[in-house]
Amino acid sequence: MTDLLIKSADLIGKGRTDVLVRDGRIAEVGSISAKGADTVDADGLVLLPGLVDLHTHLREPGREDAETVLTGTRAAAKGGYTAVCAMANSYPVADTAGVVEQVAALGRAAGYADVQPIGAVSVGLEGKRLAEIGAMAHSAAEVRMFSDDGHCVADPVLMRRALEYVKTFGGLIAQHAEEPRLTEGAQMNEGAVSAELGLPGWPSVAEEAIIARDVLLAEYTGARIHFCHVSTARSVDIIREAKARGAKVTAEVCPHHLLLTDEAARSYDPVYKVNPPLRREADVAVLRAALAEGVIDAVATDHAPHALQDKQCEWAAARPGMLGLETALSISVLALGGPAGVDWDLLAERTSRAPARIAGLEAHGRDPRPGVEANFTLVDPAATWTVVPEDLASLSRNTPYAGMELPVTVQATFLRGRATVLNGKIEEETTE
C-alpha cells in the first residue's frame, strides 16, 4: 500500500498538522514532506478519531429489504464511522456463535467499517432463558456486549444471572430500559401531547423504573451495565447518582432525543415514531447538558432502518425507529453548541473515544499517534448540507431530518488507512 499523507488537518489540541499513514497505521504526526505518498489536502478540515456507534440495527440476517451489513456500513462510513456495534434483533436473532460470526464476517467482507456484533441476552429475545453468552464470547466474533434491545430484559432474575455471567469475562449488558407492563399499547410519550392526540402514552417512569432497578442489580453483582437510548430527565438523575456511588454504569443518548420532541407527533407522520419515544423539550435540555457533562457517556445512533411499507402507513401500525448513521455527527454538533461553539475534543470523546472504550474496541477511538491504527475521519466544520432521503447510502429512507439543513460534512473516512469515503463520496473499492 502506498503511503498516505494527510496535509494540514486541524488536529484536536494541536492545530494544523500533517499525518503520515503507512500500512494501515499512523507512522508520523507533525510537519511532514513525503515524496511518493498519496496526498489528501485537509486544509480547513478537522481530523476526528473515527466515530464508533454502540447501537446500530444492520437488519442482516433477515430483513435485507430494510438494510444489509453492506449498505448499513456504507451509511456508517458516510457518517464518519469506522466501527459499529450491530444489535442482535435480526432474523434469526444473534443469540448463537454462528449468527454473531456470520455478522462479523459480512462486515469484514463489506470493508466499510468494523462490525462488532452484540449478542442477545436471552434466547430469541424472549426474556426467558439466557442465550449462549459464553459461546458468543468465546467465538471468533469475541462478543463482549449483550443486549435484547427492542425488548427490555424485564425479568430481574434473568438480568441478575446475565450480569453475573458477563462479569466473569469483563463483558457488559446493554439494557433497553422499558418496563413492559407500563408501556402496553404505547404509541408515543405520555404527556400533554399524547392526551391531546388521543394516542396511548409511553410514560417516562417505564424507563426510569428499570434503570433504577438495574443500577441496583449492577451494584449488587459488581457487574457492568450500559443503558441504551436514555431519553428522560429523571433517568439522567438516577444515572448521575449511581455514578457518584461508583456503580459501573455507562449510558448513551440518541441524536433524535437531543433534538426532536413529542410535538412532532402532531403531524401523525410515523417517521417520528421511535422507541423510546421523542420526549418533552425539558428532557431534551437535560439530555444535552448530561452529554456535555459526561453523565451520559456517548452518543449512539439507534440507526433503525425500516422498509417503506413499515413506515408509510398509519401511526399505530408503523414500526418504531429512525435512521441515524449519516446524520448523527451533524446532530451531535448541534446538540453540543453548534458548529461555531462546539468543543471538538468533547465531541470526539462522546462520539468516538468513550463508545470505543465501552465496547472494548481498542483499535478505535484513538487520537492520531505513531503506531495506532489509522481509523479517522475528516470533517468540514464550516460546510452545511441538506438531508435528501434519496441520497442516503442506507437502503431505507426513514430519516426524520428530510429537507433540513444541517451543519458539518464528512469529507473523508479512513479505515486502517484506506479511504471508505473521499471528497464526501463513498469509495467503491474497499478490498484491503
> Rounded to an integer, what is the distance from CA 401 to the centroid of its chain?
17
Q: Cβ closer to ligand NCD: 398 or 430? A: 398
| Smallest separation, CB 120 to ligand NCD (Å) | 13
Active-site annotation holder among 3, 95, 283, 302: 302
Handedness of CA 393, 347, 354, 126 (dihedral sign): negative
User: Would you call 262 a catalytic residue per the annotation?
Assistant: no
Does 398 belong to an annotated binding site? no
| Smallest separation, CB 270 to ligand NCD (Å) | 11
Does 275 belong to an annotated binding site? yes
Judged by CB under 6 A, the residue of 57, 288, 303, 418 near ligand NCD is 57
Q: Is 338 exposed, middle or buried (0-12, 13-18, 19+ CB in 10 A)?
A: exposed
How many angstroms separate the most distant Cα atoms in the chain? 68
Indicate whether 270 belongs to the interface with ligand NCD (CB under 6 A): no
Indicate whether 275 belongs to the interface with ligand NCD (CB under 6 A): yes
Q: Cβ closer to ligand NCD: 176 or 397? A: 176
The angle subtended at Cα 256 by Cα 255 and Cα 257, nearest 5°, is 90
Does 3 belong to an annotated binding site? no
Does 375 belong to an annotated binding site? no
Indicate whether 274 belongs to the interface with ligand NCD (CB under 6 A): yes
- Spell out the residues 6+ positions from residue 128 whose beta carbon is closer than 8 angstroms to its own: 122, 155, 158
Does 302 belong to an annotated binding site? yes
Q: What is the 3-state secondary structure (H, E, C) of 229-292?
A: CCCCHHHHHHHHHHHHCCCCEEEEECHHHHCCCHHHHHHCCHHHCCCCCCCCHHHHHHHHHHHH
The Cα 23–Cα 302 span in angstroms is 33
Judged by CB under 6 A, the residue of 150, 171, 355, 368 near ligand NCD is 150
Of 7-15, 319-327, 329-337, 406-414: span binding ligand NCD (CB under 6 A): 319-327
The Cα 164–Cα 170 span in angstroms is 10
Indicate whether 117 belongs to the interface with ligand NCD (CB under 6 A): no
Q: Cβ closer to ligand NCD: 20 or 159? A: 159
Indicate whether 304 belongs to the interface with ligand NCD (CB under 6 A): yes
Does 226 belong to an annotated binding site? no
Q: Are 339 and 414 in contact (CB under 8 A)?
A: no
Indicate whether 116 belongs to the interface with ligand NCD (CB under 6 A): no
Judged by CB under 6 A, the residue of 80, 321, 324, 355 near ligand NCD is 321
The Cα 143–Cα 31 span in angstroms is 40
Q: Cβ closer to ligand NCD: 20 or 93? A: 93
Does 151 belong to an annotated binding site? no
DSSP E strands, 38-87: 38-41, 46-49, 51-56, 81-86
Nearest Cα to Cα of residue 4 among 25, 17, 14, 273: 25
- Spell out the residues 6+ positions from residue 136 whose beta carbon is closer than 8 angstroms to its own: 94, 95, 96, 97, 100, 117, 119, 143, 146
Judged by CB under 6 A, the residue of 89, 189, 375, 411 near ligand NCD is 89
Residue 63 identity: R
Residues between 162 and 191 that touch ligand NCD (CB under 6 A): 176
Indicate whether 149 belongs to the interface with ligand NCD (CB under 6 A): yes
The Cα 20–Cα 33 span in angstroms is 9
Residues lying near ligand NCD in the complex (CB under 6 A) are found at: 57, 89, 149-150, 176, 274-275, 302, 304, 319-321
Catalytic center residues: 302
Question: Which residues participate in the annotated binding site for Zn(2+)?
Answer: 55, 57, 149, 176, 229, 302
Question: Which residues participate in the annotated binding site for substrate?
Answer: 57-59, 89, 275, 306, 320-321
